[in-house]
Amino acid sequence: MAYPNRNYNYPNFPPPGFYRRRHRRMHAGYYGYYGPLQAQQMQNIAPAPEANEADSAIQAAEPQAEAQNQAMPLVQPFIDAAITESQSVADGASVRFPSMSEALAQFNGMGIDYNGIDTFTINYPGLYSLACVLALADNSQPSDCFYVQINRASLVAGSSNMQGVGQIAINQVAYYDQDTQIRIVNASGHSVMLDSAGNGDAAGHLSMYRFADNSLE
């Protein structure tokens, strides 16, 4: 069957070379998906920038992060100390911890200064976690109360016993500035006996470590 105004017959469609000719016309911008206007618009498209805003922010933060990493030790500052001997803590007095000469099993730490008696000094500001457990002697008064003392002034994170037995557990997560001094003090209004008998030869234990800087940004 012959079609009018056509140079080919249906049974013989497509003629040889048809797709090659049409392919050249489409890429020339005359037919199909790419007309003259679309071709011109494609030529005017600006190339993508080499770095977007996120990349620029990362590049700007890299020197600051590198400087902070150089300032901080690879291991975060920490203290771990066991109170190995029984002791009586007077009202307003501080708990005494092992001396620096004791075995590592009883005292270990770095990045936090310790005066060898009762005071810990922060060298690197940041967010710290502190946990302290004190073992009370039998027949202790039910109003025994101990606190974290900041810079020999503020009393925070207090904890007390119940019914004259058990342990006192003190926990705090806080931001400490550089040179902050930390002690554990008795604020009960009376003396308190910490007893190591029957408690694995430990009258108490303190651990403190830095886990973050001063911002979550």
Summarize pLDDT for 37-66 with one digit per residue, the tens.
555 555 565 555 555 665 665 666 566 656
Rounded Cα distance between 183 and 173, Å, is: 15
Mean pLDDT value across residues 169-175: 93
Residues 6+ apart with CB under 8 A from 38: 29
**DSSP E strands: which ranges in the chain?**
78-83, 87-89, 107-110, 112-114, 120-122, 126-135, 145-150, 154-160, 167-176, 181-186, 192-194, 204-212
Res 166: pLDDT: 72
Place of tokens 């930390």: 182
Res 195: pLDDT: 85
Rounded Cα distance between 113 and 187, Å, is: 24
Q: Where are the domains of the chain?
A: 1-45, 76-212
Place of tokens 């190591």: 196
Rounded Cα distance between 141 and 56, Å, is: 62
**Residue 177 is encoded by which pair of tokens?**
């500035």
- Select the more confidently predicted residue: 197 or 17: 197
- Select the more confidently predicted residue: 183 or 62: 183
Rounded Cα distance between 14 and 6, Å, is: 12
- Select the more confidently predicted residue: 132 or 106: 132
Rounded Cα distance between 213 and 99, Å, is: 29
Which class is 76-212 in CATH?
mainly beta
Rounded Cα distance between 138 and 84, Å, is: 17
Backbone phi and psi for residue 151, each to the nearest 5 degrees, phi listed first: 55, 40
Res 206: pLDDT: 93
Instruction: Give pLDDT tens digits for 79-128.
Output: 998 888 888 999 999 999 887 666 556 778 889 999 988 999 999 999 99
